[in-house]
Amino acid sequence: MKKFLKITLIVIIVGFAALLTLSAINSSKLNDAAEKAGFDNVGEYKRAQKINIATKSEYDAHIKRQAELDRIAAENGGFLSVDEYKKAKAVSMPTKELYDEYLVQQAELKLAEKKRKAEEDEKARLAEAEEEKRKAEEAEKARLAQEQQKKEQTELKSVATESVKTKNVLNTEKNISSEVLIPDHMKVENVKKVIKDYLGPCSGKACQLNIDLLNEYLKKHDDYSKGKISALVSGRSGSKHIEAYLRNGTQIEVSYYSGTLNSMSKKRDTVEIDKNDIISIYSVALKNYGAEVFEDWYRGSTNGIRALKANINNFVNSKATEYMNNKASKAADEWDNI
């Protein structure tokens, strides 16, 4: 193998040397031919050969004759100089008028290209600015979402505190008057004033609309203050339950899958809850947001109704999760005892 490589290398070197030698010979022959023909350099000799001219004197006569032809053509074409004529000839423009039009056209094309490039740069700049704006808006949305989450967490803590207070009050002696048990912001007269301030002044036919809304909101207050709130809540990602339905503030119907892969079925269990927890959540929302909590439950068009829904949903999901965890714990204990 080594012997083969050595032979191959020798062949390549010999071949390369032969090519160099041949090139040197050809170059020497070309120099001799140019010198014999009277040319000062090989380049001029080669140009003469291309137009079938053999001697220097013939080539000089050709150059002189061509220069005269160019001068005449330039003069006939209206050009200011032979150089201008040659430039026009290079772009196939036989007259000064056509060449000037060509130059104007080329200038317009360059200007148009420059304008197009500027427009593209501006579009790119605007697109970049739009992208920066989009990123800034997304960052702002994320910031607001974090603030809203913190606010909801604070409200949940407040709800928990309020719930404890409510339970403590309700567990006091029964002979305490109900008037004492109701916080000021939950009293009908105060709620009515809050609703009137929220709806604002009216005139003409609009007053009847305000009256209708007032009655509708007072009816909702009457229901909410008794814990009569119903809501269907989907289980969070990773939850053991599918959904949980709060029924009139007293029960939560927890839906979940049960069984093996071959006999999977959807089941629903009912969990009893203390309606005072729901009343406490409503009480906090009413205190913080006023009549906004009476807007349409499904549209969620105000911060108040959104906060109330979020806190109710969180409460329902937490109760459903607690129930499912307890169910799983009992199943584990049962398995251990088998």
Kindly list the domain boundaries of the chain, sorted by start residue.
Answer: 2-76, 182-337
| Coil/strand/helix, residue 230 | coil
Look at residue 142 in the predicted model and tell me its pLDDT.
Answer: 83
Look at residue 174 in the predicted model and tell me its pLDDT.
Answer: 43
For residues 85 and 79, the answer to whether their CB atoms sit within 8 Å is: yes
User: Please, where are the H alpha helices in the chain?
Assistant: 2-36, 42-50, 56-76, 82-90, 96-170, 178-181, 188-199, 206-224, 275-289, 303-337
Look at residue 1 in the predicted model and tell me its pLDDT.
Answer: 63
The residue whose two tokens read 């505190």 is 161
User: In the chain, which residues have pLDDT < 50?
Assistant: 18, 173-180
Look at residue 204 in the predicted model and tell me its pLDDT.
Answer: 86
| Coil/strand/helix, residue 117 | helix
Burial degree of 153 (CB within 10 A; 0-12, 13-18, 19+): exposed
| Coil/strand/helix, residue 65 | helix
Q: Which of 39, 91, 45, 47 is nearest to 66 (CA)?
A: 47
Look at residue 86 in the predicted model and tell me its pLDDT.
Answer: 85
pTM of the full structure? 0.50
Distance CA 173, CA 246 (A): 30
Look at residue 317 in the predicted model and tell me its pLDDT.
Answer: 93
Burial degree of 186 (CB within 10 A; 0-12, 13-18, 19+): middle
Look at residue 198 in the predicted model and tell me its pLDDT.
Answer: 94
